[in-house]
Amino acid sequence: MESNSALQEIKDRLVKAKSVTVLTGAGISADSGVPTFRGADGLWKNYRAEELASPEAFERDPKLVWEWYNWRRELIATKSPNAAHIALVELEKQIDRFWLITQNVDGLHPAAGSKKLSEIHGNIWKVRCTDCGRVEGNHDVPIAILPHCTTCRGLLRPHIVWFGESLDSEDLRNCHEALRSCDLFLIIGTSGTVYPAASFGSVAKEQGAFVAELNLDPTPNSGLVDVTVQGRAKDLVPELLK
């Protein structure tokens, strides 16, 4: 299907949809200039993201891990939500049963105004106490290293789901409820390689939803979805509202 006709098909489905669920990945943030922090973009002082984003790395050298996250926070602090983020906020306002699932930790969706949202990999602007478990927002740039809990003085860690950790059970429940109940599922700017999010398209499709993918390049999901449109999120998502 040609891009224009595929886009029109999604727009027609949006008009009729009673329930819409959206999944976003690094592609939507890339349009705001946020690096992926994986591969070449993720190399910092000769460390790869996979070497630092783990409970074992934090236990071994919390100062090093916090220095890396502070570097990331300083980069993200200079970025703003783009047209795709804004368009999804408008979509949320127009559709009563709407849920947004994001794999991104940069906080750009809530910054844009998204409310019905699951940040399944966490948020870099939140911290969690390793002693009492308290989660709170922290936008300090730079952040004090090492940061400590204002309640119990325990060591704080980034409120991020690291390699080897499970997703929050409440987030998973919300996601699966949204996937089961939607009649339109939009996959925007995600490579389709990180689980469990990579399987969400199949879950929604099995429940009878129309599944559409908008991404710069083909993904492992491209052959499974109903329509796929190649392009940048900041260009394609606003088109859906026209």
Residue 53: CATH number of its domain: 3.30.1600.10
Same domain, 9 and 57: no
Q: Hey, which residues does 44 pair with through a beta bridge?
A: 47
Distance (Å, whole) CA 146 – CA 99: 35
Q: Which residue has the tokens 């002082």?
A: 45
Same domain, 145 and 170: no
Chosen domain end from 134, 160, 186: 160
pLDDT of residue 41: 64
pLDDT of residue 2: 59
Same domain, 40 and 30: no
Distance of CA 224 to the CA centre of its chain: 21
Q: pLDDT by residue (tens digit) across 167-211?
A: 999 999 999 999 999 999 999 999 888 889 999 999 999 999 999
Tally of domains within the chain: 2
Percentage of the chain beyond pLDDT 90 is 86
pLDDT of residue 9: 95
Sheet containing strand 97-102, strands side by side: 117-119, 97-102, 19-24, 184-188, 210-215, 227-230
pLDDT of residue 46: 81
Please report, for the domain that includes residue 90, its CATH number: 3.40.50.1220
pLDDT of residue 234: 97
Give me the domain span that covers residue 21.
3-34+81-121+166-239
- Short-list 26, 31, 34, CA closest to 87: 31
**Residue ranges in the chain whose pLDDT is less than 50:** none
Same domain, 171 and 222: yes
Same domain, 136 and 228: no
Is-catalytic flag, 121? yes
pLDDT of residue 193: 84
pLDDT of residue 45: 83
CA angle in degrees (0–180, nearest 5) for 115-230-15? 50
Strands 19-24 and 184-188: parallel
Same domain, 116 and 175: yes
Same domain, 179 and 72: no
Same domain, 143 and 228: no
pLDDT of residue 60: 97
Same domain, 233 and 141: no
Helix (H) / strand (E) containing 103: none
pLDDT of residue 4: 81
Burial class of 64 by CB neighbour count within 10 A (0 to 12, 13 to 18, 19+): middle
Q: Which of 121, 139, 148, 176 is catalytic?
A: 121
pLDDT of residue 192: 86
